[in-house]
C-alpha cells in the first residue's frame, strides 16, 4: 500500500513509498522480507526521498534503555528506535553525563552510529562499546566492537561493507564515571560554572541560534561534509582566503568549514523553488515547501559548481539521497 513519505523524513518532500513497515519488536525482523529495494529508516533526519520510492521503507521503532553500573563506567544498552536527544536528556537526569555535547541532534539511536554523529568537539565513536545488528543474510544478531565499526568522520562500516546487509538493533555505550568536559568549541568556553547541565544547555542554545528545527522548518542538518584536504592544498588556499576556518585531521590533512565556503561564495539565501540555503548556517538547506527532488538536485549541483569554481573543492553531500530504487550520489565530477 502506498504510504506518504513526507512525515517520515525531516526534509519533507511530498513523495510516497510503495510499502511501509514499522519494526517495534525484533522478532518482526526474522519474517520481514528484505527483497530489494528497501530502505532502513530511523526518524529520517539524514535521508531524503527525491522521488516516489518503489520499494519498502523499514522504520526501526524498538524501545528500551538498560543501564549497567561497572567499576569505572556505566554501560548503557539502547534499542535502535529510541530518540537520541531523549536519551541524552534521560541520562543527564540519572546523573550519567558524557553525551551533553551531542544534545539536540535529531534522529534515533540506531541511526547514530551509521554516520557517527558528532558535534562540538565530540563524536559518538568515543563512547561506543559495541553495536548489535540483525544480519539480513543469516537472520542472526551479530555484535561488533568499536574498532570493527570502522568509525571515521561521518562514516562507519554501515555505509560500506554492511550497507543494505545489516539492521542496527542495539547500541551499547560506555560512559566513564569520571566526567571530562569537552569545551574546545568556542561558545562552550563562555560557560562560567562548568557542569554537565551547563554544557547541555549551552549546546542547546548554540544549536537553536544557528540550526533550524527540522520539525518546524524542514531540513536535514548539515547538508555537505566538511571537506578534508591535504596540508599543501590548505596552505595554498590560506594565501588567497586567510580567514578560511580549518581544523587538524590527522598529520597530513585538515578539515575545512564547508559552511564558510558556501557562505563566502555568496550563496546564503540562494533559492531553487522552496529550497533555500539557510541564512544562519549556509551548510544547511531548508525546504519551505512546494519543492521537488529535481529542485534539490539543481540546488546541490549549483552549490557544488559555485564552490568548485571558487576554491577547487568538490563538496560531498553528507545527507543520504534516495531515488526510485536506490541510494543516489550527486558528485558533479564533470566540473573538476
Residues that bind ligand EPU (CB under 6 A): 119-120, 210-211, 221-222, 225-226, 245, 257, 259-260, 263, 281-283, 318
Q: Can you say how many angstroms the Cα of residue 104 is from the centroid of all Cα atoms in its chain?
A: 12
Sign of the CA dihedral running 188, 192, 194, 197? negative
**Shortest distance, position 276 Cβ to ligand EPU, whole Å:** 13
Q: Minimum distance from CB of 70 to ligand EPU (Å)?
A: 29
Which spans in 153-218 are helix H? Answer: 196-210
Active site residue 71: no
Q: Which is nearer to ligand EPU, 77 or 245 (CB)?
A: 245
The active-site residue out of 45, 154, 276, 320 is 154
Is residue 100 among the annotated active site residues?
no
User: Could you tell me the smallest distance in angstroms from the CB atom of residue 279 to ligand EPU?
Assistant: 8
Is residue 132 among the annotated active site residues? Answer: no
d(CA 71, CA 78): 20
Q: Which is catalytic among the residues 222, 276, 291, 320?
A: 222
Q: Is 55 exposed, middle or buried (0-12, 13-18, 19+ CB in 10 A)?
A: middle
CA distances from 103 to 123, 203, 278, 279, 306 (A): 12, 7, 21, 22, 33
Strand partners, 75: 68, 174
Min dist CB 253 to ligand EPU, Å, is: 15
Shortest distance (Å) from residue 16 CB to ligand EPU: 26
- 196 or 227, CB closer to ligand EPU? 227
Based on CB atoms, which residue is closest to ligand EPU, 137 or 186? 186
Which residues share a beta bridge with 230?
A: 253
Closest CA to 316 of 219, 221, 220, 226: 226
Assigned C-alpha cell, 16:
510516497
Task: Point out the catalytic residue in the list 45, 291, 318, 320.
Answer: 318
Compare residues 170 and 281 and give the one whose CB is closer to ligand EPU. Answer: 281
Q: What is 191-206 written as a DSSP string?
A: -SS--HHHHHHHHHHH
Closer residue to ligand EPU, CB minimum distance, 169 or 206: 206
Name the residues annotated as catalytic: 154, 222, 318
Amino acid at each position: 500500500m502506498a504510504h506518504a513519505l513526507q512525515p517520515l523524513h525531516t526534509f519533507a518532500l511530498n513523495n510516497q513509498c510503495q510499502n511501509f513497515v514499522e519494526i517495534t519488536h525484533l522478532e518482526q525482523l526474522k519474517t520481514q522480507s528484505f527483497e530489494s529495494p528497501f530502505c532502513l529508516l530511523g526518524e529520517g533526519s539524514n535521508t531524503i526521498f527525491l522521488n516516489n520510492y518503489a520499494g519498502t521503507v523499514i522504520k526501526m521503532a524498538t524501545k528500551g534503555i538498560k543501564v549497567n553500573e561497572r567499576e569505572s563506567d556505566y554501560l548503557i544498552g539502547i534499542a535502535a528506535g529510541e530518540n537520541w536527544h531523549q536519551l541524552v536528556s534521560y541520562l543527564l537526569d540519572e546523573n550519567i553525563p558524557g553525551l551533553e555535547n551531542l544534545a539536540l541532534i535529531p534522529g534515533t539511536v540506531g541511526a547514530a552510529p551509521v554516520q557517527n554523529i558528532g558535534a562540538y568537539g565530540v563524536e559518538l565513536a568515543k563512547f561506543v562499546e559495541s553495536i548489535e545488528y540483525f544480519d539480513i543474510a543469516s537472520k542472526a544478531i551479530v555484535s561488533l566492537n568499536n574498532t570493527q565499526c570502522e568509525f571515521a568522520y561521518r562514516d562507519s562500516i554501515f555505509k560500506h561493507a554492511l550497507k543494505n546487509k545489516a539492521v542496527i538493533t542495539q547500541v551499547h555505550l560506555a560512559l566513564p564515571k569520571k566526567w571530562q568536559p569537552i569545551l574546545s568549541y568556542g561558545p562552550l568556553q563562555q560557560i562560567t560554572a562548568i557542569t554537565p547541565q551547563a554544557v547541555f544547555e549551552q549546546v542547546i542554545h548554540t544549536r537553536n541560534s544557528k540550526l533550524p528545527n527540522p520539525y518546524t522548518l524542514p531540513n536535514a542538518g548539515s547538508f555537505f561534509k566538511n571537506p578534508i584536504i591535504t596540508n599543501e592544498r590548505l596552505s595554498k588556499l590560506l594565501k588567497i582566503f586567510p580567514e578560511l576556518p580549518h581544523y587538524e585531521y590527522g598529520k597530513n590533512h585538515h578539515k575545512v568549514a564547508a559552511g564558510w565556503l558556501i557562505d563566502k561564495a555568496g550563496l546564503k539565501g540562494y533559492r531553487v523553488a522552496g529550497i533555500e540555503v539557510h541564512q544562519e548556517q549556509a551548510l544547511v538547506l531548508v525546504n519551505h515547501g512546494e519543492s521537488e527532488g529535481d529542485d534539490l538536485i539543481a540546488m546541490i549541483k549549483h552549490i557544488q559548481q559555485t564552490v568548485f569554481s571558487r576554491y577547487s573543492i568538490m563538496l560531498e553531500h553528507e545527507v543520504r539521497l534516495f531515488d526510485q530504487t536506490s541510494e543516489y550520489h550527486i558528485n558533479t565530477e564533470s566540473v573538476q
